[in-house]
Amino acid sequence: MIVLKAPQDKLLAALQSVSGIVERRHTLPILANVMIRRHAGQCEFTTSDLEIQVRTSAAMDGDKGDFSTTVGARKLIDILRTLPPDQTVSLSAAQNKLTLQGGKSRFTLQTLPADDFPLVQEAADFGPTFSVPQKTLKGLIDQVHFAMAVHDIRYYLNGILFVAEGHTLTLVATDGHRLALAQATLDVEMPKQEVILPRKTVLELQRLLKDGAKDTKPAKDGSEAEAAPIAMCFAANQARFTFSGMEFVTKLVEGKFPDFNRVIPKNHKQHITLGRGTLLTSLQRAAILTSEKFKGVRMNFEPGALRIASNNAEQEEAKEELEIDYSGPSIEIGFNVTYLMDVLSNMDQELVTLSLQDANSSALFTVPEQDGFKYVVMPMRI
């Protein structure tokens, strides 16, 4: 049976959109496979890692009748990548094998039964669905993802907090040393819903979401079409996202996220607005001579000047000086330079405002005339 026949680039795009969660080595070999299901002229591609499930479908030629099987996702993608983009390829099934043919190339792959593929059992009690533009959600994730913890024993920090309340969607991430918060306005009013998305889910969404233009077809006036909005809904232990012909279902992280409002400074008196790019490049240069273990830099704020200094165990030293519009008291404060570079390199605004109190209080980064972003970083002793 010819399961499907399609241009190489169309099939490859469909497989790549679902393959991000597939791990090459897994305790269940079938989880390295993609499930291919043909039904009513549509081909459906599904992957799972038992906690996340991604599915997409596309209209492709092939024999009539329903059919499903599973085949190694990475092998199939690796083969397709080496074939010409404009070539028509076909997948044929026979006797527990799947044959991929393109031009004079032919590959026979082992399959496993689709009935054995462990689909994620979807929750029955999802809350109300709401939508935001893909560009908006991707922008929020871009602004906070770097502050997520990695393999922290406080498992609820290994992800991002999503809070939908009223007309506001808030994303928060923290690893205990810094905290990033980004907000966007919703078109509909929502009852409060609060969930923690796992780190792997966040990074996969970030990969899949479009920046705004070029979804599938150009608009009628010839301009690039806006990517379809992403619809999302939450249950007690699951979240579901639907966008661009894809369905993304994930388990949630259980636990209580810290009260982020208590962490954000409210009464810092000293505010310095800086050029983001200039500050970032100065910190990148200073970072070269930081200690590999501590990554510390000293920042000395004085009227009219910011001095940045770093050194290491080899007694090497870096010094940078920037002119700033500041007339407050002198403040010398130390930071992990990586935490500062992370936030600055994940922003695209030209200016950033740094609010300080003293050498022992956390610092607050904000963006002028944009209330929806806050970044808090704890100082360090150097």
- Which residues of the chain fall short of a pLDDT of 50? 213-223
Q: Whole-angstrom Cα distance, residue 46 to residue 22?
A: 10
Taking each helix axis as running N to C, give the angle between helix 73-81 and helix 8-18, from 0 to 180 degrees, rounded to the nearest 10.
Answer: 140
Query: Residue with structure tokens 């109190």?
Result: 357
What's residue 40's pLDDT?
86
Q: Whole-angstrom Cα distance, residue 318 to residue 312?
A: 9
Amino acid (one-letter) located at 380: M
Burial grade of 316 (CB within 10 A; 0-12, 13-18, 19 or more): exposed
What's residue 223's pLDDT?
47
pTM of this prediction exceeds 0.95: no
**Residue 209 token pair:** 């979401």
Q: What confidence tens digit (pLDDT) does each residue in 101-115 have?
A: 999 999 999 999 999
What's residue 7's pLDDT?
95
Q: What would the DSSP string read from start to end of 300-336?
A: EEETTEEEEEEE-TT--EEEEEEE----S--EEEEEE
Which residues have C-beta within 8 Å of that of residue 148, sequence separation ≥ 6? 157, 158, 159, 160, 173, 174, 175, 199, 202
Which residues have C-beta within 8 Å of that of residue 208, sequence separation ≥ 6? 17, 20, 243, 244, 246, 248
What's residue 210's pLDDT?
84
